[in-house]
Amino acid sequence: MNDTRLVLLLNTHMPQVLSTGPLLDEPENWLFEALTETYLPLLRMLTRWDARRFTGTWVMSFTPCLVEQLLTCEARYTQYLHLLGRIATRELERTSRLELYNRSERYPQARSEEDMDRLHRTAGAYLRRVEDSLAFLREHSLRDVLGQLGRETPPGVQLWTSTPQHNFLPFFTPATADRFVARGVESFADVFGRAPDGLWLPECAFQPGLERVLTRRGVHRTALSLQGIGAYLPNDPSGVFRHDALEVLVHDYRVALNLWKSPEATFPSHPVYREFFRDLGHDVVPEYFDELGVPIPAHKRGQAWTGIKYHAVSGANVGLGHKALYDVEAARAQVPHHVRAFWELLDARRALVQDGRTFVLAFDTELFGHWWHEGIDWLEGVLQPETSPALPLPAPPEPPAVPRLYYSTWGRDFYSEHWLTPDNCWMYALIKQLEAHLPPPEGPEHQETWRLFELFSGSDLPFMMPDPSQRERAREMFLERYTQVLSRLPPFAPGLLAAYPVDPFKCLLVHVGVPGDGPAPPFVLQRLSQEDARAQNPREITLEPEVVDVAGLRVCFQYFLLHPLGHYALRVEGQAPVHTFRMPDYGVPLLITQDGQALPKYDTQSLYQQLGEIWEGDERLPLKAAPTVRSRHVYTREALEGVLRGRRAAVFKYNKEGYALLRFREQALAPPRIVFDDQMTLEDAGTYIQAGPTAVPVSNDPEAIARHDFDAVIFTSSLNFESEVPHVRALLEVATRRGLPVVSLYDDILYYDLFEGLDVDPERFYRVAVPEQDALAARKPERYPPRNVLGVFGTDTVQGKFTTQLYLREALARHLRVRHHATEPTGILLGADTGYSRVLHVELSQRRAFERRLMADLAEGCDLVLTGGQNGLLYTPPGGTRRDNASTLIYGTYLPRLVVLTVAVDTPAQDVRATCEYLDTLAREHGVPCEVVGLAMMGGRKLHGSRWTETWFLGVRDEVLDEARHRLARETGLRVYAIPEEADSLARAVLTRL
């Protein structure tokens, strides 16, 4: 615990529920119950805060609409407490004798003395809570409490603001989002007397561009989900990061699920804790409240919510009617166990955070006390332990930089589908219709219009629509607020075309118009060229939208699958306006299972096949079905030396292969002179590797290609995205005009239809691969295996296999004759004797025969052959087993006697042990010895970007690396070598085993 830093964010929000109607009516009860059970207990905790007892950061964010209600609700809340006190006093009396108790029970039953004693003690606890709340209000004004909290914020506590009505910012124009952020900052200063320490984005919802809105308004701290930094793999790190001037706190759902949203496994689901969903108002006869003189609205008779609950969770499969009685003392005794379990959980999950120490967790504040009755006690046990004050941790270092932020939320699939459903999409259409006609926010005459629009466009009513119990109320309130805003705007003709991204592949198309007698006119959707949005013959399809007639308008909408980064035009048949839009670029949507596993929402391969069928065979890219020419295939250094030796290369693109060409320029056949990328610039390139600017410029301007001096072109990846086409075409035009050699590490560049008007000489195009004729002509070696093969393989979730090979090769070459076979095609450009990732169009048995002959020939003339795997040995490819992964096939082909395993700072020891056991199994099956020499660890960690071609690198502090190395060495019995610093030591360990 002493070396763990917790950053706990509590999003404190309540929609506009304060009423003038009957008390004990929803949804106003939500506010009063939250005040009694959550807000006042937290304010009390802050008054006795001891900063020495907590070495992390507690963030309390407040939405302006909640704060406004807190400042105006005291009189009405006091009435509510007196009413509740009347009920609690009667309950204390009623639970004193069984006959009194059963007189008001809807279903009288036998109760033991022990049961009655337990009920009586629980009733007494509720009465004391009411009395404590009334005492707090007598001693404090909520306005004064909040003002003092702002002026005298305790150390270790931060106060954040949010948008006025919890408005879901990605659905608004940048100008409207800017206004909402400005209002959040201004309203916070009015109450707390200073600027906020950060801003909570409602629903953690972010889209690129909002970072500029925040910093422009003086906000330099916010929170995002893991997807917000492009992370979506199981072990991608969370924690505190920096993006330009913005500090980004990245919430870790993998840890947070232990407290919320996973009913069968969370702390609040423990059987002894209080059950939320069974209330006194459901268990007593309606006349009970009549006798007390407590007015209950007619629609709530028999189902009123009082906040007094007598039952325990009892178990996930126990129905509400069979719950055991709640035991206050037993629940209180369980809390310290869950405090300890929480710190143990963090300790076990250190590999999930970027510095091995700092955990960022975000929750709705109302989870503690309101939903989870014992949550306040648990929270105080975590934030203010009763043991001696924690030893202070050193000041946290500068957070590592992330080069990009991505569209994301903390919802079900980390995108918008949770908030944009067929039940509520018409509401967003009306919101956007009014947004388009709002007056400028400047000027006092428009302030009331904007205030009403803020309330109307809040996220809560659309969020309530999918819930059948709330749907009608939400609809009525929404339409009432719509009318209020509309009445303040000048008359306008209805009409709106819009598109909302639901996730990277799904989009909601919307049209707002005037109702008609017949069916709605069809949508016409065109796919435009990425390069030219004014294409003369764009691809086009017709859609029949669904229709909702509401508020004198006809809202037509259609959910549809589109290509990530695709450029589209939407119009309504027979109408002139056209809405053009581009699908954004962000990562893989995930679905979270009950046990916290993240699964892809889509089968991407079948989805792209479906997209191809929708768009009449369109495969996203200009791919030739039957190319007339093919590149020449190369896979040996000698073959490429005559092509590239002494040349200066232009590289596309700056992915991990492109970075390797820069990092090992000394070994490159054609050192890079310039790198082009469709998204990245030189400034991004330094961030990519957690270093300063690279010496080689990186440009994303296709117009600049013709102006640079280079005499070879290297493509480090296949053509995967339409946004890459202009850069690739420009490079090919220059290469063809100048007669330059073109080397593609993966797919044949001549397969793409990018050469219109160019005189192509296929003799100048090369692909790093083995042609089928070479593989088919290879004879099997007479005997196998060689004894001098060293393999570098990875455990399940790590990096550095190829880099370790290069450093180890150079270190070993100082002592013996080394040859290198690289299973990554980049290797052939960086000194490997042979290198490729693909053998074309041959069966596996013939491929193995060719590759074994290749290895036998390499091994015959040297002391050691170095090779390696691709993915992790434990990786299970979709639809297969780990025996189908590339590394298993590579091991089974070359059968290395010595193996180096690569690990990362977050590699679990059990993965290393499992990998060693798997290698032992494979070696026994093949009848060969196999020894793991040691573990190689790189000084950083990978972070996947939004595209499968992107891999960012995050720096890791030296002490974290050292701690990880010691942990793995201790738990696996294998020495861990830091790469590149200890490459020589690793080489000596190899030499001793030859």
Q: Helix, strand or coil for residue 712?
A: strand
**Separation CA 403–CA 700 (nearest Å):** 15
Amino acid at 654: Y
pLDDT value of position 840: 79
Contact yes or no for 871/883 (Cβ under 8 A) = no
Contact yes or no for 401/243 (Cβ under 8 A) = yes
**Would you list the DSSP string of 352-419?**
GBTTSSEEEEEEEGGGBTTTBTTHHHHHHHHHS-SSSPPPPPPPPPPPPB-S----B-SSTTSSSTTT
Residue 637 structure tokens: 């250094």
**Separation CA 361–CA 10 (nearest Å):** 9
pLDDT value of position 531: 47
**Separation CA 49–CA 159 (nearest Å):** 15
Question: 3-state DSSP helix/strand/coil percent for the chain, to nearest 5?
Answer: 40, 20, 40
- Cα 673–Cα 675–Cα 679 angle in degrees, nearest 5: 165
Element (H, E) at 659: helix 656-663
Strand partners, 835: 822
Which residue is it, tokens 């550095």?
A: 800
Measured in residues, the chain has a length of 994
Strand partners, 58: 8, 157
pLDDT value of position 532: 44
Instruction: Dump strand ranges (E) for 666-758.
Output: 672-676, 698-699, 712-715, 742-744
C-alpha Rg value of the chain to the nearest Å: 32
pLDDT value of position 2: 63
Contact yes or no for 689/659 (Cβ under 8 A) = yes
Considering only CA atoms, which of 731, 732, 714 is closest in space to residue 660? Answer: 714
Q: Which residues of 408-433 are buried (b: 16+ CB within 10 A; e: fewer)?
A: bbbbebbbbbbbbbebbbbbbbbbbb
Contact yes or no for 16/258 (Cβ under 8 A) = no
Pairing of strands 553-561, 632-634: unpaired
Positive or negative: CA dihedral 34, 39, 40, 44:
positive
**Separation CA 730–CA 733 (nearest Å):** 5
pLDDT value of position 690: 62
Cβ within 8 Å of residue 534, ≥6 positions away: 528
Q: How far is CA 351 from the centre of its chain?
A: 17
Is the bond preceding 656 in cis, omega lying within 30 degrees of 0?
no
Which residue is it, tokens 């010595």?
A: 898
Cβ within 8 Å of residue 199, ≥6 positions away: 61, 160, 161, 162, 181, 184, 185, 214, 219, 221, 222
Start-to-end CA span in the chain (Å):
45
Which residue is it, tokens 């379990």?
A: 341
Residue 729 structure tokens: 């075409």
971-975 contacts, C-beta under 8 A, 24 or more apart: 971/909, 971/912, 972/909, 972/912, 972/913, 972/916, 972/935, 974/901, 974/912, 974/916, 974/932, 974/934, 974/935, 975/934, 975/935
pLDDT value of position 586: 63
Contact yes or no for 518/598 (Cβ under 8 A) = no
Mean pLDDT per 10-residue run, the chain (994 residues)? 86 94 86 97 94 92 98 96 97 96 94 96 97 96 96 96 97 96 98 98 95 97 93 84 95 88 75 96 95 90 93 92 96 96 92 89 97 97 78 73 88 87 93 95 89 96 89 94 96 92 91 87 84 54 93 94 86 90 76 72 78 65 70 94 94 90 91 91 72 80 93 91 86 94 92 83 93 85 90 87 96 97 96 90 89 94 95 86 94 97 90 96 96 92 70 75 91 96 96 94
Q: Helix, strand or coil for residue 879?
A: coil
Phi, psi of 93 (to 5 degrees): -75, -45
Element (H, E) at 765: strand 765-768
Contact yes or no for 903/349 (Cβ under 8 A) = no
Positive or negative: CA dihedral 549, 554, 558, 562:
negative
Positive or negative: CA dihedral 407, 412, 413, 418:
negative
**Separation CA 353–CA 766 (nearest Å):** 42
Which residue is it, tokens 């929708």?
A: 614
Amino acid at 27: P
Q: How far is CA 629 from the centre of its chain?
A: 43
Contact yes or no for 450/519 (Cβ under 8 A) = no
Which residue is it, tokens 């509309």?
A: 486
**Separation CA 507–CA 459 (nearest Å):** 19
Torsion of CA 703, 709, 712, 715, to 10 degrees: -40
Sheet architecture: strand order including 246-250 = 221-224, 246-250, 239-243
Cβ within 8 Å of residue 840, ≥6 positions away: 633, 769, 770, 771, 772, 775
Considering only CA atoms, which of 849, 919, 935 is closest in space to residue 887? Answer: 919
Which residue is it, tokens 């400047």?
A: 442
**Separation CA 911–CA 320 (nearest Å):** 42
User: Could you count the other beta carbons within 10 Å of the beta carbon of residue 440?
Assistant: 9
pTM: 0.86
Element (H, E) at 247: strand 246-250
Half-sphere exposure of 868 (CA within 13 A, CB side): 31
Considering only CA atoms, which of 208, 162, 133 is closest in space to residue 68? Answer: 162
pLDDT value of position 614: 80
